[in-house]
Amino acid sequence: MFIDQATIRIKAGDGGNGCVAFRREKFVPKGGPSGGDGGEGGSVYVVATRRLNTLYHLQFHREWRAGRGQHGMGSNCSGQHGGDVIIELPVGSVVRDKNTGVVLADLTQEGQRVLVAKGGRGGWGNQHFATSTRQAPRFAQPGDAGEERELFIELKLIADVGIVGLPNAGKSTLISVISAAKPKIADYPFTTLIPHLGVVRADDDQTFVVADIPGLIEGAHEGHGLGHEFLRHVERCSILVHLVDLSGNDHPDADAEVIARELELYSKTLAEKPRIICGSKLDSAIAGNSEKLRAYAERHGYDYCEISSVTGEGVQALVRKLAAFVREHQEKEVALSAQS
Q: pLDDT, tens digit, for every residue of 193-238?
A: 567 888 888 877 788 888 888 766 665 555 555 555 667 777 888 8
What CATH number matches the domain at 161-339, 3.40.50.300, 3.40.50.10860, 3.40.50.150, 3.50.50.60?
A: 3.40.50.300
Strand order in the sheet with 103-106: 63-65, 5-11, 148-155, 93-97, 103-106
Judged by phi (left if over 0) then psi (alpha if -120 to 50, else beta), residue 47 lies in beta
Check if the beta carbon of residue 281 is closer than 8 Å to that of residue 170.
Answer: yes
Closest by CA to 17, choosing from 42, 37, 43, is 37
pLDDT above 60 for 5:
yes
Name the pairing type of β-strands 44-49 and 113-117: antiparallel
Least confident of 110-114, 219-223, 324-328: 219-223
Global confidence as pTM: 0.71
pLDDT at 219: 59
CATH 3.40.640.10 fits 1-155, yes or no: no
Q: Which residues, including other chains, have CB under 8 Å from residue 262's CB and lie 6 or more apart?
A: 216, 217, 218, 219, 220, 221, 227
Q: Where in the chain is the domain with CATH 3.40.50.300?
A: 161-339
Q: Where in the chain is the domain with CATH 2.70.210.12?
A: 1-155
